[in-house]
Amino acid sequence: MRLLLVEDNVPLADELTAGLKAQGYAVDWLADGRDAAYQGSVEPYDLIILDLGLPGLPGLDVLAQWRSGGLSTPVLILTARGSWAERIEGLKAGADDYLTKPFHPEELHLRVQALLRRARGLANQPTLQAAGLHLDEGRQSVSQAGVDIQLTAAEFRLLRYFMLHPGQILSKGHLAEHLYDGETERDSNVLEVHVNHLRRKLGRAVIETRRGQGYLFGAGSP
């Protein structure tokens, strides 16, 4: 899952970026509201974390531009403690959730997980489940028929994306756009290797190849 973090406090941004990457997310970071307004509208992010006190263009204006342009990507806004008016204005402008500074990184991670599940119509699931698999996002592992299966970081990122999009054909290009940040070289051959590793661990029927189209997750699984 590819996230955009818009935060002008560099130490905080570094801390959040490191934590989110450790959770298996690809993260792009911007500090200026004008840059965020443009990049958020042209890059395929799965979720955006947006601070409201930004240079260049205030976060509320950035959010308003995104929503008026038809951007439906979930947005989690960060606000200063006690700024209840900002929170209300942010929600009115189209934010999906908000978090008040200071906050514990684990709360941010849990809210991100919940927003990503909600965006895929899986809000009622306390954990990510699909095709007979249960994904533990904290441990970055998966269980199948009650048996825990350890995943590498790359396998975890790929499987989580598949489980959030069951029954949907995903091209290699689409997967690369959503699994890697803007600075990472995207190699479809590497993706194919990770798919084959997942098949060996979970069974070949879990991920089906559609020639000339991409991959279909969960079609041959209960």
The single-letter code of the amino acid at 177 is: E
**What is the per-residue pLDDT across 94-119, written as a single tens digit (0 to 9) for each?**
999 999 988 999 999 999 999 999 99
What pLDDT sits at residue 221? 52
The last residue of one of the domains, among 119, 141, 165, is: 119
Sheet holding 97-101, edge to edge: 26-30, 2-6, 47-51, 75-80, 97-101
pLDDT band at 62 (very low <50, low <70, confident <90, very high): very high
Is 188 within 8 Å of 197 (Cβ atoms)? Answer: no
Domain co-membership, 105 together with 147 = no
- CATH of residue 79's domain is 3.40.50.2300
Domain co-membership, 19 together with 110 = yes
φ, ψ of residue 117 to 5 degrees: the values are -65, -40
Out of 36-40, 50-54, 90-94, 180-184, pick the least confident.
180-184
Domain co-membership, 113 together with 146 = no
- CATH of residue 176's domain is 1.10.10.10
The last residue of one of the domains, among 65, 98, 119, is: 119
Quote the tokens at residue 84: 């209840």
Q: Residue 97 domain-assigned?
A: yes
Domain co-membership, 89 together with 59 = yes
Most confident of 119-123, 139-143, 214-218: 214-218
Domain range spanning residue 213? Answer: 128-217
Q: Residue 212 domain-assigned?
A: yes
What pLDDT sits at residue 218? 85
Write down the pTM of the prediction. Answer: 0.90
Domain co-membership, 68 together with 172 = no
Report which DSSP code applies to 157. Answer: H
Domain co-membership, 108 together with 145 = no
pLDDT band at 40 (very low <50, low <70, confident <90, very high): very high
Give yes or no for residue 86 having a pLDDT over 60: yes
Domain co-membership, 190 together with 96 = no
3-state secondary structure of 139: coil
Out of 82-86, 127-131, 157-161, pick the least confident.
82-86
Query: Where do the DSSP E strands lie in the chain?
Result: 2-6, 26-30, 47-51, 75-80, 97-101, 128-130, 133-136, 141-144, 147-150, 169-170, 207-210, 214-217
Please tell me the total count of domains within the chain.
Answer: 2
